[in-house]
Amino acid sequence: MARAARALARAAEGAAGPGLGRARLVPLPPGGAAGPDPHGWREAVAAAAGALQAGGLVAVPTDTVYGVACLAQDSAAVRSIYSLKGRNGAKPLAICLGDVERLYRYCHVNVPDELLRDLLPGPVTLVLQRSEELNKDLNPFTSLVGVRIPDHSFMRDLARACSGPLALTSANISSQGSTLTVSEFQDLWPQLSLIIDGGPIGDIWSSECRLGSTVVDLSVSGKFSIIRPGCALTPTVEILRQKYGLVPESS
């Protein structure tokens, strides 16, 4: 495993194009800040936060698939993510936060706090009305924003280490499949500032592990709308309908 990590790191260093610098690959120690290598964990968080604060794009592991993050309040970095993915400018980016409490600064919330905490952190993206605090260049075509709080210690620590929300999207070219290892998105490496290698996410042979988060619109009071079924559809709908009495928006 160590040999494979070194090989990937060498490939990442050699993949950078002219003027892009070298994307550095950082293996993520297991176990989080309380694990056997807390110093290495903190160094990985600090390296990613520093790259983001410098305007860079960072590949990150999440609780669903690998993602690419930038600072949501940095308009130039947001444009870089769209360029990286070849993404349609009318497709919105989600924001990523470390804690439910921070959600209220960037969204107008019309559901109980308990509902938020039943679903977050977790493999769910909640779509809510955006607040005026959010960068106007982020998804300027909509009054809504998707919010992720991944159930992943690194992502939560990274989000807490940054002054504002992260913009987060999957680490793949638009219309291509989601990725579960860093080697699966090598074509993106030259345009990345840093790659955090958290190892394989889930079963790389399972198509279900590549579904990404369940995206649910909660912007209409008392109702919900599933935008993308994702990997957590059944438990999400059960919570919304049975515990909170929300009804599908189409009904």
Encode 159-219 in three state secondary structure: HHHCCCCEEEEECCCCCCCCCCCHHHHHHHHHHCCEEEECCCCCCCCCHHHHCCCEEEECC
With cut-offs at 50, 70 and 90, classify the pLDDT of residue 90: confident
For the residues 112-125, what does the mean pLDDT come to?
98
Cα–Cα dist 103/215, whole Å: 16
Greater confidence (3 vs 220) lies with 220
- pLDDT-derived band at 131 (thresholds 50, 70, 90) equals very high
Residue 175 confidence (pLDDT): 84
| 8 A C-beta contact, residue 149 and residue 122 | yes
**Does residue 3 have a pLDDT over 70?**
no
Contact 28, 157 (CB under 8 A): no
- Kindly state the percentage of the chain with pLDDT values over 70: 91
Mean of pLDDT values over 147-151: 98
- Calculate mean pLDDT across residues 90-95: 93
What separation in angstroms does the CA of 87 have from each of 23, 67, 115, 189? 21, 14, 32, 17
* pLDDT at residue number 22: 60
Tokens of 47: 């390296």
User: How many CB atoms within 10 Å of residue 144?
Assistant: 17
Residue-level pLDDT at 20: 38
**Residue pLDDT, tens place only, 191-246:** 999 999 999 999 999 989 999 999 999 999 999 999 999 999 999 999 999 999 99
Q: Which residues contact 217 (CB under 8 A, 6 or more apart)?
A: 127, 144, 224, 225, 226, 227, 249
DSSP annotation of 61: -
pLDDT of residue 134: 98
Q: What is the pLDDT of residue 89?
A: 78
Q: Is the pLDDT of residue 82 over 80?
A: yes
Does position 14 have pLDDT exceeding 80, yes or no?
no
Question: Which candidate, 181, 154, 183, 182, places its Cα nearest to that of 43?
Answer: 154
Pick from 238, 20, 227, 35: which is nearest to 142 by CA? 227
- Show me where the domains of the chain are located: 39-206
- Point out which residues pair with 58 in neighbouring strands: 69, 194
8 Å CB contact between 44 and 58: no
Asked whether the predicted pLDDT for residue 250 surpasses 50, the reply is: yes
Residue from 150, 41, 42, 154 nearest 96 by CA: 150
Q: What's the CATH class of domain 39-206?
A: alpha beta
Pick 12 or 178 by higher pLDDT: 178
pTM assigned to the model: 0.90
Stretch 20-24: mean pLDDT, rounded? 62
What contacts 165, CB < 8 A, 6 or more positions away? 71, 72, 73, 95, 96, 97, 102, 106, 134, 159
Q: Which residues of 83-103 are buried (b: 16+ CB within 10 A; e: fewer)?
A: ebbebeeeebbbbbbbebebb
